[in-house]
Amino acid sequence: MTLAGQSWGRYPITRQKIVPLIDRQRELPAFNGWALPYGNGRSYGDSCLNPDGTLLHARGLDRYLAFDPASGLLCCEAGVTFSEILDLALAQGWFLPVTPGTRYVTVGGAIANDVHGKNHHRLGTFGHHVIRFELLRSDGSRIICVPGDANGLFEATVGGLGLTGVITWAEVQLRRVPGPWMETESIRFNALDEFFALSAESSTSHEYTVAWIDCLASGKSLGRGHFLRADHAPGEPGAKPVASSSSLRMPLTPPWSLVNRLTLRPFNWLYYHRQRVPRRRAMTHYAPYFYPLDGIGDWNRMYGPRGFLQHQCVLPPSHARDGIAALLHEIARSGMGSFLAVLKEFGDLPSRGMLSFPRPGTTLALDFPNTGPNVFALLDRLDAVVDEAGGAVYPAKDARMSGAHFRKAFPRWQEFQPHIDPRFSSGFWRRVME
């Protein structure tokens, strides 16, 4: 079945064959050309696409192998989503050790992109909590991968963008929580320096830290925003049941992006000013705290038929302050603005994957409606700033970085290359290897 494949950014749209995987014990189905595993399509750009090739759709591998409610050790197939894990484990007192901003990623996708969350400064990336997994290669071999093995396949596959083979199942260590509640504190700050001060102060006191930035503010307000810090908190286990599936949904794709010059400025202004007091504390349910956008199904449609482009970069600590300021300045100057600009300081725990994105420094995530060449030109200018600061752009969110930038920012690509399954490739990989 040839289908137009889509990633979460809805750009690019490419055609490929989609073959479902339904039984982890079976050999891979026959395919022509390049193959690439596909989970739940939450990567933003083309790292989960394979133009003119085959996508091995692994969402059907959604079975548990074992779960020990005493130790929190979970073994499941790679197509199980974080949402499903939470449904199972939270009632028994366990939570994901690391989670990105959507719970609709699969375990396989989380490993392949070595995802991170707001607690990176404490618990590192998802890959740090993976005990082992099985890798099914196109030659039919099955390899149990553990960290530090001489074959290097664990380190190649964590953050390996699906290129080393199909992850069939994985064993993950969950973490204990007192319940579904989060004790949160939101602090308004007026400039970028305040962000760095708050971040330094909070990294030892709070497990989760992140900031939202008004990226249209400039001058002395450059980098103003809200700093959000939180911890798991005990609470009434039975209090306020929250619907697990979203009832709000974008029913269709509007003909134009709803995020545009007319809406961005008021949105960012209102978001900044919605909190009148400088500090606000609250008890928040984990779902709206971790996954605010999951509350609106298919929210990516609001960017219209041309989709949107994400840009997430990390800048090393030495260049973080000036680099972030330069990026925000560049964006403010372009007037294009981002609906959500997210800023966070990573911790020092070295990532396990050869191509893992998280590294010490400050990360900034942005998204821009695809308005054509002007946005691509802006993104190239942002890449130039990142490049000069010695930073890196996140492959899971990228649809356009240059091969030169990728190879410089991910210097272990040459060490990684021999681990690629000889019959696997992706749109992203072919693009950055050109």
Partner 1 sequence: MQRVLIIGATSAIAEATARAYASRGAALFLVGRDTPRLSTMAADLSVRGASVAGTHTLDVNNYNEHAAMISAAWTALGDIDIVLIAHGTLPDQNACATSVETALREFSTNGTSTIMLAIAIASRLKAPATLAVISSVAGDRGRASNYLYGSAKGAVTVFLSGLRQSLYASGVNVLTIKPGFVDTPMTQSFKKGALWAKPEQIARGIVTAIDKRRAVAYLPWFWWGIMQVIKNIPEFVFRRIKL
Sites for partner 1 among residues 3-22 (CB under 8 A): 20, 22
1 is a contact residue toward partner 1 (CB under 8 A): yes
Pairing of strands 35-38, 142-145: unpaired
Whether 349 and 128 have beta carbons less than 8 Å apart is answered as: yes
333 is a contact residue toward partner 1 (CB under 8 A): no
The set of residues, in sequence order, having a beta carbon less than 8 Å from that of 328 and lying 6+ positions away, is 192, 213, 215, 218, 222, 223, 341
The Cα angle at residue 10 between residues 419 and 373, in degrees rounded to 5: 100
433 is a contact residue toward partner 1 (CB under 8 A): no
Min separation Cβ 29 and partner 1, Å = 11
63 is a contact residue toward partner 1 (CB under 8 A): yes
DSSP at 350: P
Query: Toward partner 1, which CB reaches closer, 62 or 201?
Result: 62
Backbone angles phi, psi at 213, to 5 degrees: -115, 140
Distance from C-alpha of 362 to C-alpha of 386, rounded to nearest angstrom: 11
25 is a contact residue toward partner 1 (CB under 8 A): yes
131 is a contact residue toward partner 1 (CB under 8 A): no
The token pair that represents 130 in the structure block: 């993976």
Out of 65, 200, 384, 433, the only residue in the binding site for partner 1 (CB under 8 A) is: 65
Query: Toward partner 1, which CB reaches closer, 67 or 267?
Result: 67
297 is a contact residue toward partner 1 (CB under 8 A): no
88 is a contact residue toward partner 1 (CB under 8 A): yes
Out of 7, 11, 17, 24, the only residue in the binding site for partner 1 (CB under 8 A) is: 24
Min separation Cβ 63 and partner 1, Å = 4
Distance from C-alpha of 342 to C-alpha of 4, rounded to nearest angstrom: 30
73 is a contact residue toward partner 1 (CB under 8 A): no
Distance from C-alpha of 112 to C-alpha of 36, rounded to nearest angstrom: 11
The token pair that represents 61 in the structure block: 């591998």
66 is a contact residue toward partner 1 (CB under 8 A): yes
Backbone angles phi, psi at 74, to 5 degrees: -120, 130
Query: Toward partner 1, which CB reaches closer, 92 or 141?
Result: 92
27 is a contact residue toward partner 1 (CB under 8 A): no
The site for partner 1 (CB under 8 A) is made up of 1, 20, 22-25, 63-67, 88
